[in-house]
Amino acid sequence: MPTTDIVVPNLRSNKWSRSWKKFFNEMVYLRGYVSLYPNYDHFVSLSTNHLEAGEHVPANINHEKQRQYFLPLMQEPEVANQHPGTELGVKLLDLPLSNLPSWTDLPVLDLWGDISSLEKLRNMGLDRRINMSVCQPDEMEANALEYLCPPRETMRSEDSLRVLHASSNKEDDLDLMQG
């Protein structure tokens, strides 16, 4: 399938031909993945956006427009009290019972911000994978943890680890983290 084909309908990232986020959104949709993104009073956040000039951010973006994308970060109480303006909203230890709500109590939103469910997201992704893939449905099931923790039988032997370590000392190695 060409990388220019639309995998997920009606997504803004479909127009970003050189953006990693297009492919990330496709993977999220096809696999029914979700992420935890809490919102707090006064738009205090655990993270904020980083705008860099590129395909979907113009080089001449003005300061006011750029400020719309930045959110105040949640602070620990002793830090929040030292910096004017950060004392608004939630502090890390102010969460109910100093903890996040149960996973099952949180709303599930799809890529368009509409209320959904984990089952509906999985089924939508599976239907699309069946429609566009030559693989059988049972061959398409994947576990996200496999990306982080391979099964024991695929673990590298000590010899292959030595080869990997020896080759990583070269100055001309590829940086696999480059996008």
Please write the tens of the pLDDT for every residue from 102-136.
888 888 999 998 999 999 999 999 899 888 877 77
Please write the tens of the pLDDT for every residue from 92-104.
566 666 677 788 8
Residue 45, pLDDT score: 72
Distance CA 23, CA 28 (A): 9
pTM over 0.85: no
**Residue 172 pLDDT > 50, yes or no?**
no
Q: Residue written as tokens 């994947």?
A: 142
Q: 40 with 89: CB under 8 angstroms?
A: yes
Who wins on pLDDT, 165 or 78?
78
**Residue 8 pLDDT > 70, yes or no?**
yes
Q: Which of 136, 135, 110, 105 is nearest to 124 (CA)?
A: 110
Question: Of 60-64, 87-91, 110-114, which has the strongest mean pLDDT?
Answer: 110-114
Q: 86 with 72: CB under 8 angstroms?
A: yes
Q: 108 with 116: CB under 8 angstroms?
A: yes
Who wins on pLDDT, 150 or 63?
63
Distance CA 1, CA 19 (A): 18
Q: What is the average pLDDT score of the chain? A: 71
Q: 53 with 59: CB under 8 angstroms?
A: yes
Q: Which residues pair with 108 in a beta bridge?
A: 116
- pLDDT band at residue 64 using 50, 70 and 90 as cut-offs: confident
